[in-house]
Structure 1
């Protein structure tokens, strides 16, 4: 029974953990081009302001639900 209890403990600990990694940077959302369905994570965009879409060149729109606790994808 010791092995079975150990497996149960490991599974319970891994499914209830809120730590999803060790990254110090936390995304606040993503930039989207709705025409091209392109998405760029805000952490991948250099500089300030919205980037141009890599497909069509139009300005991308930042999206994030204010009350959301999940990712922007």
Structure 2
């Protein structure tokens, strides 16, 4: 999109499209990654549960260093 004010119409289609979904355990075979993938997020509301699952899916989830 252009940076012109009010120009919201795109003149060309999207250049790149993913054909294969992201796999968070493709290269990372560590024990910590396996624990993160196996973890169940119970005891939180639905909105936060979806956010945590999205972080795990895209390898953005970092466990707490101290409980």
Question: Is this a same-fold pair by TM over 0.5?
Answer: no
Which TM-score bucket, shorter chain as reference? under 0.3
More helix by proportion, 1 or 2? 2
TM-score by length of 2: 0.27
More strand by proportion, 1 or 2? 1
